[in-house]
Structure 1
């Protein structure tokens, strides 16, 4: 492979959801890099642990220690230092693979390193299964049907921004829900979408938790790896399908499997 810096999505948590392409690149990389907390623990590395154990030799590592804070100046200093270390390794002829939970370009730290390195070295991105799609699968719930609109929001939005998004879209996934749970529940209540919402933590992991009656949730902080999925309820969706197909065996603009 010609790429020297590779962002690899390892999926939402279940090691069996790592793609074959991601697994092969992880096995062949010279250096493995990943975000870790101040104790050195890494969710992405943990997901890829079985693949790393299959390597014929142990890979060198560049852990990127990221403090749990929202100060972007601190985060940018961490990314600057990590990019410098990765660039130095690449200049020595090494291939560096950066492990990412979910997908590398969806709410992922890899994007901040990519912007710092893509003008200096060859880069590649291997997509991964996102937590959004893992949540939909866990709930066995379609995210969108027919002409339904779909939006992805961040729990970092204001309550009023969340209310507007919930009122203007049929389906909404709210990411980064942990510290914003109380605010999100208030937005769901004010937009009259409480009945449409489900809450999920640690999807695909041993400690996965799903609450489909969000009125039962405590108004306190949850973990970082949590989200809300909001869709129109089954009754409304059935009405939409019935109205679309009424009087026609083959309704216009309807493609099987869309």
Structure 2
């Protein structure tokens, strides 16, 4: 019986994928991965050196503009993968970070897991990798830890951060200036640290005041660790 694998490939450094992920990547006949409308795929680039020449590759083309719904693209991808699975071929879908942590694979999972055997291979998320790269423990004992999206409104961010002992704010990009203002109003700027391209050669770790707002990538994040 064929199997659909959601394979977490981590944050960018290929040395951080698991042994199980490597085994699956090199054994399945079909590899699928999210890609931009121009065909670029960060997920594929992470593991490119491990892929086999005889594998079928299926780019899952996704729009990277918030105003454009991705759901029809997931419908099309699910149909393509279902065809491969129905023909008895195992399929591995590459997922940046972890498949079940804000991952695009979840939308494929929701469409196909009721029909096909599915297995998840967890990967290192940007949240955990960033804390490791910074050398900062995220949270202690019974502290409340939150992961928040920078897309949220100022009011919601302030409400959540007021009750969190530690937090990570993801999806920054053009939201950085808003998030910075919230941190300033809550007196969290000194505790917070900014990171982009975690685990990669071009990784940057900066204080909040050092960051140039207009250059902030969407997938950068801010870590606000617990106080020991």
TM interval, short-chain normalised: over 0.9
The equivalent of 2:105 in structure 1 is 110
The equivalent of 1:77 in structure 2 is 72
TM-score of the aligned structures, taking structure 1 as reference length = 0.85
User: What secondary structure, in the 3-state scheme, does the structure 1 residue paired with 2:162 have?
Assistant: helix
The equivalent of 2:162 in structure 1 is 167
Distance between the aligned counterparts of 1:64 and 1:179, measured in 2? 25
Q: Is residue 41 from structure 1 mapped to residue 68 from structure 2 by the alignment? A: no
The structure with more radius of gyration = 1
Distance between the aligned counterparts of 2:179 and 2:143, measured in 1? 22
Post-superposition offset of 1:156: 1.4
Q: CA contact under 8 A between 2:147 and 2:168: conserved in structure 1?
A: yes
Post-superposition offset of 1:3: 5.3
Q: Give ranges in structure 1 of 5+ residues lacking alignment.
A: 238-258
The CA deviation string for residues 112-135 of structure 1, in whole angstroms up to 9 with x for no partner, is 010011111111100001111100
Q: Is residue 65 from structure 1 mapped to residue 61 from structure 2 by the alignment? A: yes
TM-score of the aligned structures, taking structure 2 as reference length = 0.96
The equivalent of 2:209 in structure 1 is 215
Post-superposition offset of 1:71: 3.2
The equivalent of 2:85 in structure 1 is 90
User: What secondary structure, in the 3-state scheme, does the structure 1 residue paired with 2:59 have?
Assistant: strand
Q: CA contact under 8 A between 2:140 and 2:226: conserved in structure 1?
A: no
User: Aligned residue pairs: how many?
Assistant: 228
Q: CA contact under 8 A between 2:194 and 2:205: conserved in structure 1?
A: yes
The equivalent of 1:241 in structure 2 is none
Q: CA contact under 8 A between 1:176 and 1:226: conserved in structure 2?
A: yes
Distance between the aligned counterparts of 2:148 and 2:5, measured in 1? 27
Q: Is residue 191 from structure 1 mapped to residue 186 from structure 2 by the alignment? A: yes
Post-superposition offset of 1:221: 5.2
Highest RCO, 1 vs 2 (Cα 8 Å, sep ≥ 6):
2
CA RMSD of aligned residues (A): 1.3
Q: Is residue 17 from structure 1 mapped to residue 16 from structure 2 by the alignment? A: yes
Distance between the aligned counterparts of 2:38 and 2:45, measured in 1? 14
Distance between the aligned counterparts of 2:226 and 2:138, measured in 1? 9
The equivalent of 2:117 in structure 1 is 122
Q: CA contact under 8 A between 2:138 and 2:226: conserved in structure 1?
A: no
Equivalent positions of 1:131-170 (< 5 A) are 131-170=126-165
